[in-house]
Amino acid sequence: MRRIVSSPMLRRGLAAIALLIVSVFLIDMLSDYRQSQVSSVAYLAIAAGGLSVLIGLNGQLSLGHGAFMAIGAYTVAKMLQDGKEAPMLVLLVAAVIVTALVGAIVAVAAARLQGPYVAGATLALAVAVPALAVHFRDALGGEPGLRVSSPDVPTSIDDALFFLTGTETGTSQWLATVSVACLVVTFLLLRNLSQSRVGRQWRAVRDDPVAAQLAGINLGRSRIVCFIVSAACAGLAGGLMAMVTRVAAPSGFTLILSLTLLMAVVLGGLGTLTGALIGAALLTLLPTYVTNAGSSLGLSDLQSAELAPLVLGLTTIAVVLLAPAGLVGSIAPALRRLRTPSTDTSVTTTITRGEQS
Amino acid sequence: MLELKGVTSRYGPVTALQDVDLVAGEGRVTSVLGANGAGKTTLLRTISGLHRPESGKVTFDGQDITRMSADRMTRTGLAHVPEGRGVITELTVHENLRLGLLGRSRHREPLSVSDVVDLFPILGDRSHALAHTLSGGERQMLVIARALLATPRMLLLDEPSLGLAPRISAQIFGVIRQLVEEHGLSVLLVEQNARSALSIADVGIVLGLGKVIACDDAEVLSADENLRHAYLGY
Amino acid sequence: MQLINTLLGGFSVGMIYAAFALALVLIWQSTRIVNFAQAPMAMITTFIALKVIESGASYWIGFTVALVAGLVLGALVERLVIRYVDHDNHINPVILTLGLFIVLHALAAIVFGSSFRSFPAAFDLTGIKVGGETLALTPFSIFTILVVVAVMAALRLLFMKTDLGLTMRATAFNREVASVLGVKVNRALTLGWALAALVGSLSGLLIAGGGLVHPAYMDGVVVYGFVAAVLGGLDSPAGAVVGGLVMGIVLALVSGYLGSGLVPLAALIVLVVVLLVRPGGLFSTTKERTV
As a whole number of angstroms, the distance between CA C119 and CA A141 comes to 30
Count other Cβ atoms within 10 Å, centred on residue C171.
26
Contact C180 B91 (CB under 8 A): no
The minimum CA-CA distance between C233 and chain B, rounded to whole Å, is 15
Q: Where are the domains of chain B?
A: 2-232
Q: Which residues contact A85 (CB under 8 A, 6 or more apart)?
A: none
- Mean pLDDT, chain A, as a whole number? 84
Separation in Å, CA A138 to CA A74, A78, A166: 13, 12, 45
- Percentage of chain A beyond pLDDT 90 is 34
Would you mind telling me the total number of residues written for chain C in this entry?
A: 291
Tell me which residue of A250, A228, A339, A271 sits closest to A59, measured CA to CA.
A271
CA distance C167 to chain B (A): 7
Q: Do A255 and C216 touch (CB under 8 A)?
A: yes
Calculate the CA A252 to chain-centre distance. 16
Chain center to CA of A288 = 20
| pLDDT 10s digits, C41-96 | 999 999 999 999 999 999 999 999 999 999 999 999 999 999 988 777 778 888 99
8 Å CB contact of A209 and C291: yes
Q: Does position B229 have pLDDT exceeding 60, yes or no?
A: yes
Q: What is the Cβ-side half-sphere exposure of residue B71, based on CA atoms within 13 angstroms?
A: 15
CB contact (8 A) between residue A131 and residue C113: no
Q: Which of A2-6, A205-209, C120-124 has the lowest mean pLDDT?
A: A2-6
Instruction: Give me Rg for the CA atoms of chain B.
Output: 17
**B124 contacts B116 by C-beta, under 8 angstroms:** no
pLDDT at C148: 94
First to last CA, chain C: 49
Task: Tell me the C-alpha distance between A179 and A47, whole Å.
Answer: 12
Where is mean pLDDT largest: A70-74, A153-157, C32-36, C273-277? Answer: A70-74
> Using a CB-CB distance cutoff of 8 angstroms, which residues of chain A are in contact with residue B16?
354, 357
Q: What is the DSSP string of B114-182?
A: HHHHHHSHHHHHTTTSBGGGS-HHHHHHHHHHHHHHT--SEEEEE-TTTT--HHHHHHHHHHHHHHHHH
Amino acid at residue number B117: V
B contacts of C170 (beta carbons < 8 Å) = 88, 91, 99
Chain B CB contacts of A353 under 8 Å are 11-12
Please write the tens of the pLDDT for every residue from A34-68.
888 999 999 999 999 999 999 988 888 899 999 99
**Best residue of B9, B14, B33, B36 to probe chain A, by most A CBs closer than 10 Å:** B14
pLDDT at A257 over 80: yes
Give the pLDDT confidence score for residue A271 in this predicted structure.
Answer: 83
Range of weakest confidence among A219-233, B102-116, C18-32, C235-249: B102-116
Mean pLDDT of chain B: 88
Number of A:B CB contacts under 8 A?
31
Contact C95 A113 (CB under 8 A): no
The DSSP annotation for C145-169 comes to HHHHHHHHHHHHHHHHHSHHHHHHH
Q: How many CB atoms lie under 10 A from the CB of residue A268? A: 30
Chain A, nearest residue to C227 by Cα: A120
**Would the CB atoms of A357 and B12 count as touching at under 8 Å?**
no
What is the crossing angle of helices C163-173 and B93-102, to 10°? 110
Distances (CA, A) of B170 to A211, B174, B197: 40, 6, 10
pLDDT above 70: residue C160: yes
* Nearest C-alpha in A relative to B36: A357
Q: In the prediction, which pLDDT does C290 show? A: 45
Q: Are B217 and B56 in contact (CB under 8 A)?
A: no
Residue C187's CB is within 10 A of a number of other CB atoms, namely 15
pLDDT above 90 (res B108): no
Say how far residue B10 (Cα) sits from the centre of its chain: 21
Q: What is the CATH number of the domain that holds C68?
A: 1.10.3470.10
pLDDT-based confidence at residue A335 (cuts at 50, 70, 90): low
Q: Are B146 and B96 in contact (CB under 8 A)?
A: yes
Confidence tier at A333 by pLDDT (50, 70, 90): low
Number of domains in chain C: 1
pLDDT exceeds 90 at position A270: no
Q: Are residues B71 and C177, on separate chains, in Cβ contact within 8 Å?
A: no
**pLDDT beyond 90 at A326:** no
Residue C287 within any structural domain of the chain: no
Query: CB-based burial of residue B192 (10 Å sphere; 0-12 exposed, 13-18 middle, 19+ buried)?
Result: middle
Residue A298 three-state SS: coil
Phi first, then psi, for residue B109 (nearest 5°) are -60, 130
Q: Give the closest residue to B199 by CA, choosing from B176, B227, B167.
A: B176
CATH number of B2-232: 3.40.50.300
The residue range of the domain holding C216 is 2-277
What integer is the mean pLDDT of C7-27? 94
Tell me which of C85, C94, C234 to substitute to probe the interface with A (most A C-beta atoms closer than 10 Å).
C94
- Which residues lie across from A354 on neighbouring strands? none
- Tens of pLDDT, residue by residue over C144-154, are 999 999 999 99
Q: Which residues of C touch B69 (CB under 8 A)?
A: 179
- Whether residue A346 and residue B38 make contact (CB cut-off 8 A), yes or no, is no
The answer to whether C253 and C270 have CB atoms below 8 angstroms apart is no
Q: Between residues C19 and B40, which one has the greater pLDDT?
A: C19
Testing the interface with C: which of B42, B71, B130 to mutate, by most C Cβ within 10 A?
A: B71
pLDDT over 50 (residue B61): yes
Categorize the per-residue pLDDT at A81 as very low, low, confident or very high, splitting at 50, 70 and 90: confident
Cβ distance C260 to A116 less than 8 Å, yes or no, reads: no
Chain A CB contacts of B14 under 8 Å are 350-351, 354-355
Q: What is the pLDDT of residue A345?
A: 39
Radius of gyration, CA atoms only, chain A: 21
Q: Which residues in B lie closer than 8 A to residue C163 (C-beta atoms)?
A: 98, 102
Q: Which residue has the higher pLDDT, A222 or A11?
A: A222
Tell me the per-residue pLDDT of B85-100, one tens digit each, with 9 for 90 and over: 789 999 999 999 999 9
A357 contacts in B (CB within 8 Å)? 16, 37-43, 45
CA B13 to chain centre: 26
Q: Collect all residues of chain C within an 8 Å Cβ-Cβ radius of residue B146.
A: 181
- Per residue in C187-243, pLDDT (tens digit) is 999 999 999 999 999 999 999 998 999 999 999 899 999 999 988 888 888 899 999
Flag if A132 and C107 touch (Cβ within 8 Å). Answer: no
Q: Give the mean pLDDT of chain C.
A: 90
| pLDDT tens column, B26-55 | 999 999 988 877 888 899 999 999 999 999
Q: In sequence order, what E strands does chain C have?
A: 117-118, 129-130, 133-134, 212-213
Neighbours of chain A (3+ CB pairs under 8 A): B, C
pLDDT of amino acid A352: 34
DSSP A240-255: HHHHHHTEE-GGGG-H
For residues A79 and A94, what is the distance between their CA atoms, to the nearest angstrom?
9
**Would C286 be classed as within a structural domain?**
no
Of A346, A353, A357, the CB nearest to B41: A357
| pLDDT surpassing 50 at residue B177 | yes
Contact: C279, A112; criterion CB under 8 Å: yes
Is C136 part of any domain? yes
Contacts within 8 Å (CB) and 24+ apart, A152-160: A154/A87, A154/A88
Q: Say what the pLDDT of residue A296 is.
A: 85
Cα→Cα distances A348→A210, A233, B12, B53, C176, Å? 19, 35, 10, 21, 24
Find the closest chain A residue to B12 by CA distance: A350
Question: Do A224 and A111 form a contact (C-beta atoms < 8 A)?
Answer: yes
CB nearest A317 (choices: C91, C103, C222): C103
Cβ-based burial of A123 (10 A; exposed 0-12, middle 13-18, buried ≥19):
buried
Question: Residue C13: which region, alpha, beta or left (left: phi > 0; alpha: psi -120 to 50)?
Answer: alpha
B48: distance to nearest CA of chain A, Å?
Answer: 14
Q: Is residue C290 part of a domain?
A: no
Half-sphere exposure of A284 (CA within 13 A, CB side): 21
- Structure-derived torsion over alpha carbons of residues A63, C96, C29, C143, reported in degrees to the nearest 10: 80
Mutation for testing the A interface, residue in C235, C272, C273, C277 having most A CBs under 10 Å:
C272
Residue C198 CB: number of other CB atoms within 10 A?
25
Chain B residues in contact with A347 (beta carbon < 8 A): 12-13
CA–CA separation, B142 vs B103, rounded Å? 16
User: Is A347's pLDDT higher than 50?
Assistant: no
Instruction: Name the band, by pLDDT with cuts 50, 70 and 90, for residue B83.
Output: confident
The better pLDDT of the pair B112, A186 is held by A186
Contact present, B47 and B66 (Cβ < 8 Å): no
pTM of this structure: 0.86
Q: For position A302, what pLDDT does the model report?
A: 82
Residue boundaries of the structural domains of chain A: 2-258
Name the helix (H) or strand (E) containing B19.
Answer: strand B14-24
Q: Which residues of A272-284 are buried (b: 16+ CB within 10 A; e: fewer)?
A: bbebbbbbbbbbb
Query: CA A41: distance to chain centroid?
Result: 9
Nearest to A117 by CA among C92, C236, C216, C233: C233
- pLDDT in the model for residue A353: 34
Hey, which residues does B130 pair with through a beta bridge?
B92
pLDDT digits (tens, 9 = 90+) for A141-168: 888 889 888 777 777 777 777 777 777 7
Closest partner CB to C289 (pick from A55, A112, A131):
A112
CB contact under 8 A, A260 and C102: yes
First to last CA, chain B: 30
In eight-state DSSP terms, residue C119 is: -
* Residue-wise DSSP of B163-223: T--HHHHHHHHHHHHHHHHHH--EEEEEES-HHHHHHH-SEEEEEETTEEEEEEEHHHHHH
pLDDT at C279 over 90: no
pLDDT of residue A125: 93
Instruction: Measure the CA angle with vertex B82, ends B77 and B87; round to 5°.
Output: 105
Helix (H/G/I), strand (E/B), else coil: C134: strand
User: Residue B54 belongs to what H/E stretch?
Assistant: none
Q: Do C179 and B86 touch (CB under 8 A)?
A: no
pLDDT top residue among A8 and A278: A278
In this structure, chain B runs to a length of 234
C91 neighbourhood in chain A, CB within 8 Å? 55, 59, 61, 115, 270
* Distance from C-alpha of C69 to C-alpha of C108, rounded to nearest angstrom: 14
Contact A219 C291 (CB under 8 A): yes
Amino acid letter for position B118:
D
Q: Are B184 and B70 in contact (CB under 8 A)?
A: no
Pairwise CA distance, residues A151 & C8, whole Å: 52
pLDDT, tens digit, 9 for 90 and up, residues C92-129: 888 999 999 999 999 999 999 989 999 998 888 888 88
Q: What is the mean pLDDT of residues B69-97?
A: 89
Judge whether C116 lies within some domain.
yes
